[in-house]
Amino acid sequence: MGLLSKSDVATGLLLTLLSVNLQGQDIEAYPAQEWSEIAAADAQLDQTKIDRLFDLSFQDSATQGVVLIKNGLLVGERYADGFSTDSYGTSWSMAKSFYAALIGISIDRGEIISLDDPVALYLEYFNDERRDITLRDLLNMTSGLDFPDHEHEDMFFSADHLDYARNVGVEKEAGLIFEYNNVNSMLLADILLQATGVAADTLLRERIFDKIGLDDVTLWQDGAGNPLTYCCVDTTARQYARFGLLFARDGNWNGEQIIPKQFVDETFSKVWDSLNSDTIAQDRGYSLHWWISRHDDQAVIFNASGKFGQYIFIDRANDIVFTRITKYHSTGGSKQDWGALKYINWFGTVDFRIAVAGLLDSMGIIKIEGDIATPVTFDDGTSQEFFTNYSTIIDALIDISQP
């Protein structure tokens, strides 16, 4: 046996202390530049239960990577062939949860008075039939704004997403009906700018990401330079888990209260329940731009969620974060540029445009990876089995914390 170096001894001592503290469940680690890793047994977890959760996740070939965090330590991760810890995913609507957190911070700083403020207090163009809509209505998806059959997916194909959102009228009384409307979230870009004088993506970096070490990230803007506050944050599975840990720890990061605890508590309360969808065969809930995966006597699990199966699951009671992202092939850049595809972006349905773009790409007329800049998920990153197995996966996540 060779001699041990001082660093070997120090590392061994640290792992011993972590093991002892974890048995008492009194440790709250935070990642530095890299996550500290720990074996499942030392975290008082059953490796076979973790394997089952990961196996269920990878029954869907769209899965790019999964990461499990317990007590702020990396307990396990797995990646599809061709992907690694450094591989980017795109958030799609998980970004809604990120930008919503800035509203809580602005309330704490006195830039916004309360969630029950009329949006018209910050956006003068809301001083019309939309005057009764509140910030809470936007965040709870109860604004009553127009909700067409295409559910405003047309906005994603426009050159100026904020201009699109500004011109969406009211359809019904606010506060009564849940409708998952991307316009509600895009308006946060304008509200935050008017309340703080700073662009929302700059706020997200300075007020949250820089403080938690989430620096390996792309924040997408539309062609007009507006932050896309309803979608489109690109980073790695490990980095998404940092944001999850921030919410799992009541908005506190290593002693600094970044997001007010009261706002986190209110976020993780049940507002809407019994929400079903065409993709996930389980009733879910919603509150302040977060989804509720489970809310009963057994467990309370919330998640940030993206269109094609991106998730950051939070189990605050057990200090667990589980992140799952789907396969992503970045087109590069951070400002949306449709290139020649802009000429077809207003023809037919969204599915039709996607099909035409795919056809042009296959013919070599336009290369999606190279000639345009936008977040895009191809067929290999579109979930099926994960949605079908959603309830079983949540059960497996809960089971990890069971004795």
- Tell me whether residue 18 is in a domain: no
326 and 352, same domain (yes or no):
no
Crossing angle (nearest 10°) for helices 94-109 and 182-196:
30
321 and 347, same domain (yes or no):
no
Q: How confident is the model at residue 352 (pLDDT cuts 50, 70, 90)?
A: confident
Tokens in use for 35? 């996550």
- Tell me whether residue 3 is in a domain: no
133 and 271, same domain (yes or no):
yes
362 and 304, same domain (yes or no):
no
pLDDT at res. 1:
36
- Tell me whether residue 139 is in a domain: yes
Which of the residue ranges 23-27, 35-39, 140-144, 299-303 would you say has the lowest mean pLDDT? 23-27
pLDDT tops 80 at residue 278: no
pLDDT tops 90 at residue 385: yes
- Average pLDDT on 363-375 reads 89
Average pLDDT, the chain: 92
pLDDT tops 50 at residue 10: no
- Average pLDDT on 290-296 reads 95
- Average pLDDT on 49-70 reads 98
pLDDT at res. 21:
52
* Residue that is written with structure tokens 């079903």 in the block: 276
Q: How confident is the model at residue 342 (pLDDT cuts 50, 70, 90)?
A: confident
Q: How confident is the model at residue 150 (pLDDT cuts 50, 70, 90)?
A: confident
343 and 196, same domain (yes or no):
no
Residue (of 211, 244, 242, 393) closest to 318 by Cα position: 244
186 and 288, same domain (yes or no):
yes
- Tell me whether residue 35 is in a domain: no
Burial 19-45 (b: 16+ CB within 10 A, else e): beebeeeebbbbbeeebeebebebbeb
Q: By CB neighbour count within 10 A (0-12 exposed, 13-18 middle, 19+ buried), where does 254 fall?
A: middle
Q: How confident is the model at residue 345 (pLDDT cuts 50, 70, 90)?
A: confident
328 and 344, same domain (yes or no):
no
Residue-wise pLDDT tens digits, 238-276? 999 999 999 999 999 999 999 999 999 999 999 998 787
> Phi and psi at residue 99, in whole multiples of 5°?
-75, -30
Residue-wise pLDDT tens digits, 200-219? 999 999 999 999 999 999 99
- Average pLDDT on 150-172 reads 94
- Tell me whether residue 70 is in a domain: no
Q: What range defines the domain where residue 135 resides? A: 88-332+377-399
pLDDT tops 70 at residue 146: yes
254 and 353, same domain (yes or no):
no
92 and 130, same domain (yes or no):
yes
CA distance 40 to 363: 49
CA distance 22 to 16: 10
271 and 297, same domain (yes or no):
yes
Strand partners of residue 326: 63
pLDDT at res. 27:
72
Q: How many domains does the chain have?
A: 2
CA distance 233 to 185: 14
- Tell me whether residue 98 is in a domain: yes
Q: How confident is the model at residue 368 (pLDDT cuts 50, 70, 90)?
A: confident
* Residue that is written with structure tokens 């800035």 in the block: 102
Tokens in use for 39? 């074996």
pLDDT tops 60 at residue 319: yes
pLDDT tops 80 at residue 11: no
- Tell me whether residue 256 is in a domain: yes
CA distance 145 to 136: 14
Distance between the two ends of the chain, CA-based, in angstroms? 38
pLDDT > 70: percent of the chain: 93
CB-CB contact of 40 with 47 (8 Å): yes
pLDDT at res. 376:
92
Strands 73-79 and 88-90: unpaired
Question: Model pTM greater than 0.85?
Answer: yes
Residue-wise pLDDT tens digits, 219-236? 999 999 999 999 999 999
Higher pLDDT, 12 or 59: 59
> Phi and psi at residue 3, in whole multiples of 5°?
-75, 145
325 and 354, same domain (yes or no):
no
pLDDT at res. 26:
55
What CATH number corresponds to the domain at position 313?
Answer: 3.40.710.10
Q: How confident is the model at residue 360 (pLDDT cuts 50, 70, 90)?
A: confident
355 and 309, same domain (yes or no):
no
- Tell me whether residue 290 is in a domain: yes
* Residue that is written with structure tokens 């009211």 in the block: 170
